[in-house]
Chains A and B, each alone.
Chain A
């Protein structure tokens, strides 16, 4: 699997993603500066977390219009895999790779803590190493993670198996759609933490699987995501 991580000014979890990919897949990714003219030929593009361009406008809005993102979008339409994490999720939503938008957290505060995620499907190149219904412990760290889309889009996401993860309780209980503050850290619609595009080669999620790869640091539940991608995209 060849991977590129897109680095924007203000990205700050690109090294976390680099470390996770290198350690779990054994293959160090290529770091691509947003102004580099050419996106190398890769199987997977990761758009990492951070505060691209300071997020002074709407989160991810400026990065979404960068030339490199246009190229990422074009290739994703031809089947290349794309993973957007946190700010990366915001960016690829803004760029139209995924439906919906990430609004400010319902509590209007930054929130950093481990959350429980329920795996909603194992039918994807990102989640094949998990069981449907499996519960993962993965941290979140964001101010704008409140996933929002119109009802029709949400219904479609559900009916087409496009929801990857939901925030849940330790036993898998899902809070209400307006968000049980205990389990849903940001008020996301229908407790959605991560979604796919229709063809399931693009996934975005707010939580940080790249920070859940070491027992010492509290969880290894994020490893399965990287293992699944490496298996699916093995050249």
Chain B
């Protein structure tokens, strides 16, 4: 960006700010005159895709956002749900895709920092982080460098903050070669009656800036995040912010200390579009005006212009409106934590944002239209053409099932992520019950002084199967929600709500917009059917490089509550000699399966259908079993199908299993590797098998006896055996081998 003070507003400059001619005409109409450069910059970021959701808003409205336990749905810094006992879970997921591709360490680190700020702005202490990462092909020359930088950046920030990183996803696909996805989620804990919001109130109340100083980093990050990549993108490195987790840790402690008093009227973190979006959002939500003296903003270097101060995306900053009498108390707290504390302005009744610098008015613009008149596009969209259904007969039957299994558990998407999560402190705070590697992370709910007060725990997971979304966005959207719900169910949690992180290509292409619209339709249906509303989210569009989009990736972050964590099962077989059952119906769906891709090299076909009634029935049945302490181990069946699920349970425990032959009517590869939905593998004590079968019958839940746990091999009648140790070696090999040469 080549913006200079006093510069003429030329068509070129308007285009450089990512504004169309029509949008600029609207600015002229709102202003009644030509805007100053600072005003143009403010319009540009407020109306960027990233801040205004101009392409996505019409579709996002279709998502269900309400339930009796929802305290705050979308529209605030994070969603808030009631988890009982006067406590609330506050959570959101957000992307930092573009910066992480350009500068992986800082991009990922500041993504983690930003999402934690969103959560503690609401008055919650972050208690867990998750990350959904999607990289290009493992053999793409950039992949290792990106994996290495992103993982180190996430660890570098989260570890220093002392918030455990407890779960997430890591996938690889060539469609992400030029545009990786880094989706970071934070879950926080607050008192349900002490949530903080961003709507400013009280004319004359002081506007306070706290945290780190403002520098020239990240100027126009939001605009960058709203454009496609091309060969020049790496020149945009200066638009990536630099993270300082130590300052954020101080900011967290200072904010929470202040929030325990009654000094704060409103608070908003400075994330994308920095001081601009925080001041506009606070004043517009409160229906007030705001006058800021930019000379009072703490800056890192002299000579910064109003334009730079307003558009900087320097990290670790907050804007607050205080009660006048709370000022001194607040100042003392921030001084204790050695953070900047500056009174930079005042709330007014003018409804205008007035910015002064060196005694000169740099901007004087109405607040409401910045938000209300932001462009809203009903972009044309076209549906994804239906893909053919692939039956077992269309796919070659494998000769050696155990060799296939070994290959699958070692393939990039199914391989152990140990190399990744051991670089994250997943234990700090001392509440992590289910560490990375299970169906969902499980974290004890802490009380005062860090000690759990009951057996209550939160379960959390992030899920999406982008290859399903590519083939059929509606089914894929529904599947992502259903899998999330299933993963929480598998640890015995009652799923409560989700946050969504919509990662798509260029919305100006009808086929991309079609993916978006249909994925939302599928998600909305699933959320409604499963009583699993959306309470927060983030949209990241323009994830393409040189006109080629990523697989559509609507990542779902789910949160549920477990009443008694002692009953929460793990995926590991608990004992030898137990009965293994498959819950749910198996048609043997191979379209879009990992088997088809990894073994046959085919990425095609319709994805497995999602039957939400079956999903609910089967899941509720499994949850009841867990509550009655009947299930000794539970695992959801997803990527790779039933045999992979059984193998994962064996690898997690070191206990083998002897499985019966498949049913005659279903070919081996379809039965064992098909990815039909709404299924779980679980174990019960051998003497409880009959009771389970009766209960399933009574509940109308399809159930099939698979075999028995025991020994050190996984054996399949008529198909041979493989040792659990051999499977495990294959499972653990991929990441160290990939990253071995990376520094």
Interface residue ranges, A against B (CB under 8 Å) = 9-10, 12-13, 15-16, 18-20, 22-23, 28, 33, 35, 49-51, 53-56, 108-113, 139, 141, 143, 208, 210-211, 213-214, 216-218
- With A18-B450, A19-B451, A109-B423 as contacts: A13 and B428 at CB distance below 8 Å: yes
The reply to whether the CB of B565 lies closer than 8 angstroms to some CB of chain A is yes
- Which B residues are in CB contact (< 8 Å) with A141? 159, 425, 427-428
The reply to whether the CB of B249 lies closer than 8 angstroms to some CB of chain A is yes
Some 16 contacts from A to B, beta carbons below 8 A apart, are A10-B160, A10-B246, A10-B250, A12-B249, A15-B450, A18-B449, A35-B336, A49-B428, A51-B162, A51-B249, A109-B152, A112-B422, A113-B422, A216-B444, A217-B430, A217-B432
**Are the C-beta atoms of A19 and B444 separated by less than 8 Å?**
no
The reply to whether the CB of B245 lies closer than 8 angstroms to some CB of chain A is yes
- With A12-B249, A18-B450, A54-B245 as contacts: A111 and B423 at CB distance below 8 Å: yes
Residue of A nearest to B455 (CB): A216
- Which A residues are in CB contact (< 8 Å) with B159? 51, 110, 141, 143
**Are the C-beta atoms of B424 and A54 separated by less than 8 Å?**
no
**Are the C-beta atoms of A54 and B430 separated by less than 8 Å?**
no
- Which B residues are in CB contact (< 8 Å) with A12? 160-162, 249, 428
Closest 8 CB pairs of A and B: A12-B162, A54-B246, A15-B450, A16-B430, A141-B425, A19-B450, A51-B160, A19-B451
The reply to whether the CB of B629 lies closer than 8 angstroms to some CB of chain A is no
**Are the C-beta atoms of A53 and B451 separated by less than 8 Å?**
no
- With A109-B152, A110-B425, A112-B425 as contacts: A13 and B246 at CB distance below 8 Å: no
The reply to whether the CB of B313 lies closer than 8 angstroms to some CB of chain A is no
**Are the C-beta atoms of B152 and A50 separated by less than 8 Å?**
no
Give the distance to chain A from B427, nearest Cβ to Cβ, in Å.
5
- Which B residues are in CB contact (< 8 Å) with A51? 159-160, 162, 245-246, 249
The reply to whether the CB of B426 lies closer than 8 angstroms to some CB of chain A is yes
**Are the C-beta atoms of A15 and B423 separated by less than 8 Å?**
no
Cα(A13)–Cα(B164), bound, Å? 11
Residue of B nearest to A213 (CB): B430
- Which A residues are in CB contact (< 8 Å) with B425? 110, 112, 141
**Are the C-beta atoms of B155 and A110 separated by less than 8 Å?**
yes
Cα(A67)–Cα(B336), bound, Å? 16
**Are the C-beta atoms of A216 and B449 separated by less than 8 Å?**
no
Residue of B nearest to A50 (CB): B162
- Which B residues are in CB contact (< 8 Å) with A216? 433, 444, 565-566
The reply to whether the CB of B381 lies closer than 8 angstroms to some CB of chain A is no
Q: Which of B412-460 contact A (CB under 8 A)?
A: 421-433, 435, 444, 449-451
- Which A residues are in CB contact (< 8 Å) with B245? 51, 54
The reply to whether the CB of B244 lies closer than 8 angstroms to some CB of chain A is yes
Cα(A139)–Cα(B421), bound, Å? 14
The reply to whether the CB of B234 lies closer than 8 angstroms to some CB of chain A is no
Contacts A13-B162, A16-B429, A54-B244 aside, 9 further interface pairs with beta carbons under 8 A come to A9-B250, A19-B450, A35-B336, A110-B152, A110-B423, A112-B421, A141-B159, A141-B427, A143-B159
- Which A residues are in CB contact (< 8 Å) with B156? 110
**Are the C-beta atoms of A112 and B424 separated by less than 8 Å?**
yes
SS class of chain B's interface: helix, strand, loop or mixed?
mixed
Give the distance to chain B from A209, nearest Cβ to Cβ, in Å.
11
The reply to whether the CB of B337 lies closer than 8 angstroms to some CB of chain A is yes
- Which B residues are in CB contact (< 8 Å) with A23? 451
Cα(A109)–Cα(B161), bound, Å? 17
The reply to whether the CB of B16 lies closer than 8 angstroms to some CB of chain A is no
Number of residue pairs A-B, CB distance < 8 angstroms: 102
Give the distance to chain B from A13, nearest Cβ to Cβ, in Å.
6
Residue of B nearest to A16 (CB): B430
Residue of B nearest to A51 (CB): B160
Residue of B nearest to A208 (CB): B427
Q: Which of B510-556 contact A (CB under 8 A)?
A: none
**Are the C-beta atoms of A56 and B450 separated by less than 8 Å?**
no
Give the distance to chain B from A192, nearest Cβ to Cβ, in Å.
21
What 1/0 mask marks residues of chain B from 696 to 735 whose CB sits below 8 Å from any chain A CB?
0000000000000000000000000000000000000000
Give the distance to chain A from B458, nearest Cβ to Cβ, in Å.
14
The reply to whether the CB of B338 lies closer than 8 angstroms to some CB of chain A is yes
Residue of A nearest to B163 (CB): A12
- Which B residues are in CB contact (< 8 Å) with A143? 159
- With A111-B422, A112-B423, A112-B424 as contacts: A56 and B246 at CB distance below 8 Å: yes
**Are the C-beta atoms of A19 and B430 separated by less than 8 Å?**
yes
Give the distance to chain B from A110, nearest Cβ to Cβ, in Å.
5
**Candidates A9, A28, A55, A110; contact of B337 at CB < 8 Å:** A9
Cα(A176)–Cα(B254), bound, Å? 45
> By CB atoms of chain A within 10 A, which of B161, B421, B427 has the most?
B427
**Candidates A10, A22, A211; contact of B451 at CB < 8 Å:** A22
Residue of B nearest to A143 (CB): B159
Residue of B nearest to A214 (CB): B430
**Are the C-beta atoms of A217 and B433 separated by less than 8 Å?**
yes
- Which A residues are in CB contact (< 8 Å) with B423? 109-112
Give the distance to chain B from A134, nearest Cβ to Cβ, in Å.
22
- Which B residues are in CB contact (< 8 Å) with A56? 246
Cα(A118)–Cα(B565), bound, Å? 31
> By CB atoms of chain B within 10 A, which of A33, A55, A112, A214 has the most?
A112
**Are the C-beta atoms of A53 and B246 separated by less than 8 Å?**
yes
Give the distance to chain B from A109, nearest Cβ to Cβ, in Å.
5
- Which A residues are in CB contact (< 8 Å) with B424? 110, 112
